[in-house]
Amino acid sequence: MRSLIDITDLTLDEIDKLIATAEAIIANPSDYSSRCAGKKLATLFYEPSTRTRLSFEAAMYELGGNVLGFSDAGNSSAAKGESVADTVRTVSCFADIIAMRHFKEGAPLVAATFASVPVINAGDGGHNHPTQTLTDLLTIKREKGRLDTLTVGCCGDLKFGRTVHSLISAMSRYANVNFVLISPEELRVPENVRSEILERKGVAFEETTSLDDAMPKLDILYMTRVQRERFFNEADYLRLKDSYILTPEKLKKAKSDLTIMHPLPRVNEISTAVDNDPRACYFKQVLNGKFIRMALILMLLEAAQ
Ligand code: NCD
């Protein structure tokens, strides 16, 4: 059974096809409005979400399918102590495809082992978030016209931010992509991302604490939220939470065609005064997320036939 747990589960060809399908859907949504008639998507969300869950649900509805599931695992049998394995065996009896978000790293992988339908990782702890990355790749492709030859700045909580881990993993596969990793000392990318992805693939990257110094070089600036829920103590969170706040003033040093991204939710990292800057793409990202999830659901359901 084909699932999507890690972004590298997809070949670059498959990512190209997903992007092409998303663009075809954007151009002609009515051609796709009954492709999933009679099919059901289950959304199993053990952690808070607005965009990811609702974009999965909107995606399935726009394909003519239906949706079931839970957005608060406290109301599911998880509260009685049921394992992920048993929950997905059960849900496989009711749904044709599952999107799961879980606070535990690796839970969607366990789910994929026990489910008899495709499982999509909708975010697992501080680990990975492959469908946000597909959203980001579609956005970069639409804004820049390419996925190679880019200087990508990732700024904020690079330690716990799962969107950044998946984005680095995906973008490292394209030619001439280099990274500027901007974070406080305590929130640098985890050792495994540095050694197993960046160093192993020979990708050029630099680490810095200064957004100002990095700004003029960047083609993409990917801002992230400090992941409060993954901190061990509140004092550290409070000390680090406002390390970077993007303002119009800071953007004076940026390229005129910079693409400003953020997976959202934003807390304080981007001043609302930036929202009307034509370079701000974070709300376009949200919309792209629905289209790429439509393409992904189609691909996985087709593979499951
Ligand atoms: C992100 C997540 O859940 O990892 N949000 C999202 O899915 N768009 C980012 C975050 O929570 O900071």
Kindly state whether residues 248 and 271 are assigned to the same domain.
yes
The answer, yes or no, to whether residue 215 has pLDDT greater than 90, is yes
Q: Are residues 145 and 92 in the same domain?
A: no
Q: What is the pLDDT of residues 44-54, one digit of tens each?
A: 999 999 999 99
Residue 17: inside a domain, yes or no? yes
Q: Is 59 found in the same domain as 14? A: yes
Domain that holds residue 72: 7-129+289-304
- 43 plus 182 within the same structural domain: no
**Does one domain contain both 272 and 169?**
yes
Inside any domain, residue 13: yes
Please report which confidence band the pLDDT of residue 60 belongs to, taking 50, 70 and 90 as the band edges.
very high
Name the residue at shortest CA distance from atom 6 of ligand 1: 263
Do 227 and 294 belong to one domain?
Answer: no
Once rounded to an integer, what is the mean pLDDT over residues 243-247? 96
pTM confidence score: 0.97
**Do residues 118 and 135 share a domain?**
no
1 band by pLDDT with thresholds 50, 70 and 90: confident
What is the Å distance from ligand 1's center to 195 Cα? 24
Residue 168 lies in a domain: yes
Report CA(122)–ligand 1 centroid distance (Å).
9
Any idea which residue has 């082992």 for tokens?
113
Question: Which ligand 1 atom sits nearest the alpha carbon of residue 52?
Answer: 7
Structural domains counted in the chain: 2
Residues 140 and 125 both lie in one domain: no
Task: Report the percentage of the chain scoring pLDDT > 90.
Answer: 98
Residue at 105 is within a domain: yes
Rounded to an integer, the average pLDDT of 75-89 is 95
What is the band of 305 on the pLDDT scale with cuts at 50, 70, 90? confident
pLDDT at 232: 85
Rounded to the nearest angstrom, the distance between the alpha carbon of 163 and the centre of ligand 1 is 7
Within this chain, do residues 112 and 247 fall inside the same structural domain, yes or no? no
Residues 50 and 105 in one domain: yes
My answer on whether 298 and 259 are in the same domain is: no
**Which CATH number is 264's domain given?**
3.40.50.1370
Q: Same domain for 125 and 151?
A: no
pLDDT digits (tens, 9 = 90+) for 125-164: 999 999 999 999 999 999 999 999 999 999 999 999 999 9
